[in-house]
Structure 1
Amino acid sequence: MTIAQLCLLVACVLPIVCAGLAKSKGFGKRRRDGGFDNHAPREWLARLQGWQARANAAQANSWEALPVFIAGLVVAHQHQAAQASVDALAAGFIAARLAFIGLYLADQAWLRSVVWVAGLAACVALFFVR
């Protein structure tokens, strides 16, 4: 398994981790006591506040970022790009996503946006790497 492939797996798991963080407020509680409501999950998540609400937003953004990353990896592979370069860009994307999620949870909006751009730049670079 290449580093880029491992990064792809991590990128696929990150939204699920964010979902778990968002839902953690309801763990161990009955639904009637405010625990997670699997019968109406979107409504329950919409009522979250604070860092849990931001974790849910980070989950959505992680799903949104995933197709661009996958497409970049596919194109880099089709171009038979140097694996070291693909690995470095994929690792950069994951580093940016981890920082993005941390900054989202910490409510650091401006810096989070800067890191988001860095992650997007890594994805775009994958389309052009040789």
Structure 2
Amino acid sequence: MLASLLTSLLVTMFLPYLAKVPLAFAINKTGRYDNNNPRKQQAALDGFAERVNAAHYNSFEALAIFAAAVLITAQSGPVGSLSVTLGWLFVLSRVGYLCCYWFNLASLRSLVWFLGMACCFAMPIIALFV
């Protein structure tokens, strides 16, 4: 069980870079990538490129919360199947979140974000108190 939970964390670690792939294509459409000032260039983006940039950064933010949830769960004792299921549901929610950002589905994106965060907070609560 622990190996599966840790694998979900490993997969989640790759998601910010998956989110960066469409950003690279979007930036290339604007001309060229400014390696000297990439954040300045990205701050000037709009539309699709702006959304994929936001999804990229949000993926790092979510990773920190998920990593904490996984580590608390892993250190609190035997990992149960419910925690593993929540871990993989989080991964699915993050993939859905990226798709919602890319396709400009703001309301659905908020719902998917909430479900993913609920998984993150439920995991250590279950591990510590159930």
What is the TM-score of this pair, normalised by structure 2?
A: 0.88
2:107 corresponds, among 110, 113, 118, to: 110
Which letter does structure 1 place at the counterpart of 2:40?
Answer: E
What pairs with 1:63-78 in structure 2 (closer than 5 Å)?
63-78=60-75
Task: Provide the C-alpha distance between the structure 1 equivalents of 2:49 and 2:78, rounded to a whole number of angstroms.
Answer: 39
Aligned residues: 126
- Match of 1:37, SS state, is coil
In the TM superposition, residue 6 of structure 1 has moved relative to its aligned partner by 1.6
2:26–2:48 Cα contact (<8 Å) kept: no
Does residue 36 (structure 1) correspond to residue 30 (structure 2)? The answer is: no
Task: Provide the C-alpha distance between the structure 2 equivalents of 1:47 and 1:17, rounded to a whole number of angstroms.
Answer: 21
What pairs with 1:78-97 in structure 2 (closer than 5 Å)?
78-97=75-94
- Match of 1:2, SS state, is helix
Consecutive unaligned residues of structure 1, counting only runs of 5 or more, are none
Consecutive unaligned residues of structure 2, counting only runs of 5 or more, are none
Task: Provide the C-alpha distance between the structure 2 equivalents of 1:72 and 1:123, rounded to a whole number of angstroms.
Answer: 6
- Match of 2:36, SS state, is coil
In the TM superposition, residue 25 of structure 1 has moved relative to its aligned partner by 2.5
1:23 is aligned to 24
RMSD: 1.8
In the TM superposition, residue 47 of structure 1 has moved relative to its aligned partner by 2.2
1:55 is aligned to 52
2:93–2:113 Cα contact (<8 Å) kept: yes
* Regions of 4+ moved over 6 Å: none
Larger CA deviation: 17-26 vs 85-94: 17-26
1:2–1:87 Cα contact (<8 Å) kept: no
Which letter does structure 2 place at the counterpart of 1:66?
Answer: L
What is the TM-score of this pair, normalised by structure 1?
A: 0.88
